[in-house]
Amino acid sequence: MNTITAAITAVGAYVPDFVLSNKVLETMVDTNDEWITTRTGIKERRILKDADKGTSFLAIKAAQDLIAKANIDPLEIDMVIMATATADMPVASTGVFVATEIGATNAFAYDLQAACSSFLYGMSTAAAYIQSGRYKKVLLIGADKMSSIVDYTDRATCIIFGDGAGAVLFEPNYEGLGLQDEYLRSDGVGRDFLKIAAGGSLIPTTAETVQNKLHNVFQDGKTVFKYAVTNMADASELILKRNNLTREDVSWLVAHQANKRIIDATANRMELEDSKVLMNIERYGNTTSATLPLVLNDFEHLLKKGDNIIFAAFGGGFTWGSIYLKWAYDKK
């Protein structure tokens, strides 16, 4: 078989040491452990407390973890795609800095922003570069320091988000493994339901925007939940039908870890048993761009060569989709 497919050949991850549990949140805002767990499935999340460290720190750590585990020379990496919604700073690309810091000085790099779908979109982008035949090693990193944009007096959002990073390496495959199909969509109707209002060209930063907390993430929870449940489930079901896959054919569902009820709804639409649904939301919360690679890293030991994996995500904007991928290796 001479056709090039793009396969994931290595994974890595990093989460900060500090654990923000539901019990601690009870002392900060009007909420409780039972309420949070029942509605989201989250028990705790990791927070990067260092004020002088940004998303790049998380990304570098995850990339270094992958490089060490896979024993690869960073000089062989052709490109770095940085999936993130919380770049270190405007204009100067976080991905470019990360690539330099990990020693991938032969690579070109850039940031990709599609909110919580950033990593999913990044998988499509990385695979396309590999399938073109021009590049052999594409490093895709998903990282977010969500604590930098969360208002910890807003109980609607502070219970959801955490900090973390994950990375995967895409390489050419000639056995038909790797990315098989994708269904990616977006709809600007969601612009006002999940956003940071100020700090961009539309509403530049002023003393008033800071005072009014317009630089913190805002979410209309009910609306986002409704769209997420429908679109993630629809996209995943479509991928199955388009590829003539039954629930028996699916080895694993790797869904964006935003809310356990959304993940459950997606799995139910696919008629998957719980044992095939990979989840770590209870430990990390919603790490935005990092959720999918963190799941892969945590459950890498379960993944076997040839496994059919369905990825699904939904993010602000709105952005969403599903990807069908055949796993390419057994963990050594």
Pairing state between β 277-278 and 194-195:
unpaired
* Rg value, the chain, Cα: 19
Please state, in angstroms and rounded to a whole number, the distance separating the CA atoms of residues 163 and 46. Answer: 6
- The overall average pLDDT reported for the chain is 97
In total, the chain counts a number of residues equal to: 332
The first and second tokens of residue 100, run together, are 């330099």
* pLDDT bracket for residue 28 (50, 70, 90): very high
Catalytic residue among 216, 259, 286, 297: 286
DSSP-derived letter for residue 70 is H
Q: Show the beta-strand stretches assigned E in the chain.
A: 5-14, 18-21, 44-47, 79-83, 108-112, 138-145, 163-173, 178-186, 194-195, 218-219, 252-255, 277-278, 308-315, 319-326
Per-residue pLDDT tens digits for 273-286: 999 999 999 999 99
116 is catalytic: yes
Pairing state between β 163-173 and 108-112:
unpaired
DSSP SS3 for 327:
coil
Catalytic residue among 173, 231, 256, 259: 256
Say if residue 1's pLDDT is above 90.
no
| Torsion-angle region of 133 (φ positive above 0: left; ψ -120 to 50: alpha; else: beta) | left
Residue 332 pLDDT: 81
Residue 81 pLDDT: 98
Query: What integer is the mean pLDDT of 310-322?
Result: 97
Please state, in angstroms and rounded to a whole number, the distance separating the CA atoms of residues 175 and 198. Answer: 48
For 235-255, the DSSP string reads: HHHHHHHHTT--TTT--EEEE
Say if residue 231's pLDDT is above 90.
yes
Pairing state between β 108-112 and 218-219:
unpaired
Say if residue 197's pLDDT is above 70.
yes
* pLDDT bracket for residue 44 (50, 70, 90): very high
Residue 291 pLDDT: 98
* pLDDT bracket for residue 233 (50, 70, 90): very high
- What is the separation of C-alpha 325 from the centre of its chain, rounded to a whole number of angstroms? 16
Query: What integer is the mean pLDDT of 306-315?
Result: 98
Burial of 22 (0-12, 13-18, 19+ CB in 10 A): buried
CB 164 within 8 A of CB 144: yes
Please state, in angstroms and rounded to a whole number, the distance separating the CA atoms of residues 260 and 131. Answer: 34
Say if residue 92's pLDDT is above 90.
yes
Q: Name 134's bridge partners.
A: none
User: Taking the chain, what is the end-to-end CA distance rounded to the nearest angstrom?
Assistant: 25
Pairing state between β 44-47 and 163-173:
unpaired
Please state, in angstroms and rounded to a whole number, the distance separating the CA atoms of residues 297 and 257. Answer: 14
Catalytic residue among 116, 173, 216, 231: 116
Per-residue pLDDT tens digits for 249-296: 999 999 999 999 999 999 999 999 999 999 999 999 999 999 999 999
Residue 141 pLDDT: 99
* pLDDT bracket for residue 2 (50, 70, 90): confident
The fraction of the chain above a pLDDT of 70, given in percent, is 100
Query: What integer is the mean pLDDT of 133-162?
Result: 97
H or E segment to which residue 37 belongs: helix 33-40
Query: What integer is the mean pLDDT of 2-30?
Result: 96
Please state, in angstroms and rounded to a whole number, the distance separating the CA atoms of residues 278 and 46. Answer: 19
158 is catalytic: no
